[in-house]
Amino acid sequence: MLLGLTSWALALVLAQGSDDPVLTEPELGLRDERRVDLDHISDEPSAADVKGEPSADEAHGQSVREDETNAALWVPRLVLFPVRLVYEVPGQALKGTFWLVERYRVRDVYEQIFFNEDGTFGVFPTALFETGFGLNVGARLIHRNIFGHGESVSLRAGYGGQFRQTLLGQFRSGSLLGSRFRLELLGGNDARPRARFFGIGNASDIDPPPFGDRLDPVDNSFAVNTRYSESRTRANADLRFFFTEHLSASAGLGWLVQSFGSCAGCVRGAAVADASEETSVNIKDVYETSELIGFDQGLSNLSYTMAVSYDSRRPANDFIPKATPSHGWRANVFGGRTVGFHDDPSRFTRLGCDVTKVFNIYRGDRTLTLRGYYETVMGRVSDIPFVSYPQLGGNFVLRAEQIGRYRDRNVASVSAEYMWSLNQNLSSFVFIDGGRVWRNARDIELADTHWGGGLGVQAHTMKTFLLRMMVAFNGSEARLAVSVDPLYDEAPRAEW
């Protein structure tokens, strides 16, 4: 079933085009692909097509870069070879799907249906799936190069899954403001009828709903599987300045209005007493929501953010997609201040860092990525909304856990991921993640660290990341998810 779902989703997304402005880097160019005459398709490149091209391990005379010459890297090559071997057998179904897509030019046909002739405007359907939430379907509109500087506008709408509804609009400036400045504007509204809450803290085991009085969500040792509803309206502006090709700084301003209530379609009332630890129950029947900052009165606040980023990740040669860099560093140090108005008590500071190193294991398309992540919020407990605590779980950190499984004032995580290429549009990966949350920074320790791992596939074009599909395990349950955001780009803050 997983292979069938994977093959279907990858074929659908690859057909949707390669330059979605919601997913790509700020500078967006026009598609290089030209419309094709479906009656005159050549199966193989001709000699003229490849004449003068460099060999597969070189890029215009420049050999594959430094990392793979290190003799020590033969150790992970040998250790990880059995992983690749086991993965190759079921991976043949995925390779077959992509062969069919390429052989019959499905993407080109799709573009002719949903995009204009020069590929700058299109409207197409979307579909995503995640364990615990279900299927989200919708549509997306894209308009590129509006004023001739690589600008882009994207609008998308969806229904189902995490969201009862989601509407999102985004503008990216391209080079409209010059070669060093990039402006991004984001705004939207969404409603989540069944958002998850397991309490605040590092409790490993999920407990059944307790009898008697409701729990204090901040100061207790229990973790109960509860859900709540929320509605968000948000807007954000981010201006980035590039000092060099690799070094940049950004400043942002965000506005958020958020309200909360009981969950839709979950166990509530007297039935909660008979629920098991696996049953999702209404948050108001388990936790004292008056102790959850922002739950009863809602939130309305402004956030001011700053970040400094260094990114030297790049492919080893021109034959490797930009979405699968072969080597390099990425480091992001960020901070910000959130202040509430009206009845919102928000008044806290957020700081954090996210560091990634990519090692070239072999010929640029087999890589080992190591990552460390830390985030903290500073302020009085009475000034920090429960949704603004740093979190572990979801598609970015501690991926084997449900979204928001662990949250507290301090979080840290590490991960290791091995990736190898199946073809130019598809890569496989296996990973292991570890993480923990703490109430106070002085109490940081490694005991009770949570671990998980999994495997998956990533779809991309030569220029653009498309999506990730993965199955992750934490020792007691499996989680299947599809993500349309690059893992090793900036992870979204909790409030966004």
**Within a 10 A sphere around the Cβ of 140, how many other Cβ atoms?**
21
- 5: which strand partners? none
CA gap 331, 282 in Å, rounded: 40
Element (H, E) at 401: none
CA gap 404, 242 in Å, rounded: 33
- 412: which strand partners? 374, 436
* 436-450: pLDDT as tens digits: 999 987 878 888 899
CA gap 420, 313 in Å, rounded: 16
Q: Which of 320, 258, 23 is nearest to 142 (CA)?
A: 23
Structure tokens at 194: 């069944």
Residue 380 reports pLDDT greater than 70:
yes
Is the alpha carbon torsion for 76, 77, 79, 85 positive or negative?
positive
CA gap 45, 95 in Å, rounded: 19
The pTM of the full predicted model, rounded to 2 decimals, is: 0.77
* 178-209: pLDDT as tens digits: 999 999 999 999 998 888 999 999 988 887 87
pLDDT of residue 110: 67
Longest dimension (CA), the chain: 79
Buried b (16+ CB within 10 A) or exposed e, 386-420: bbbbbbbbbbbbbbbbbbbbbbbbbbbbbbebbbb
Q: Enter the DSSP assignment of 118.
A: T
Query: Which residue has 């992540």 as its token pair?
Result: 373
pLDDT of residue 323: 87
Residue 22 reports pLDDT greater than 50:
no
Residue 238 reports pLDDT greater than 70:
yes
Lowest mean pLDDT among 2-6, 73-77, 131-135, 303-307: 2-6
**Residue 397 DSSP SS3:** coil
Helices 74-103 and 2-14, packing angle to 10 deg: 70
Structure tokens at 111: 């573009």
* 219-233: pLDDT as tens digits: 888 888 899 999 999
Residue 55 reports pLDDT greater than 70:
no
Residue predicted with more confidence, 239 or 40:
239
Q: What percent of the chain has pLDDT over 70?
A: 71
Mention the CATH class of domain 2-32+74-483: mainly beta
Residue 491 reports pLDDT greater than 50:
no
**Domain range summary for the chain, segments of one domain joined by +:** 2-32+74-483
pLDDT of residue 83: 61
CA gap 248, 36 in Å, rounded: 39
* 341-366: pLDDT as tens digits: 988 999 999 999 999 999 999 888 89
CA gap 396, 430 in Å, rounded: 14
Chain-centre distance of CA 267, in angstroms?
A: 30
CA gap 310, 248 in Å, rounded: 7
CA gap 116, 124 in Å, rounded: 12
Quote the Cα angle for 320-325-328, to 5°. Answer: 140
Cβ neighbors of 178 (< 8 A, separation 6 or more) are none
Q: How confident is the model at residue 84 (pLDDT cuts 50, 70, 90)?
A: low
pLDDT of residue 134: 67
Q: What value does the mean pLDDT of the chain take?
A: 79
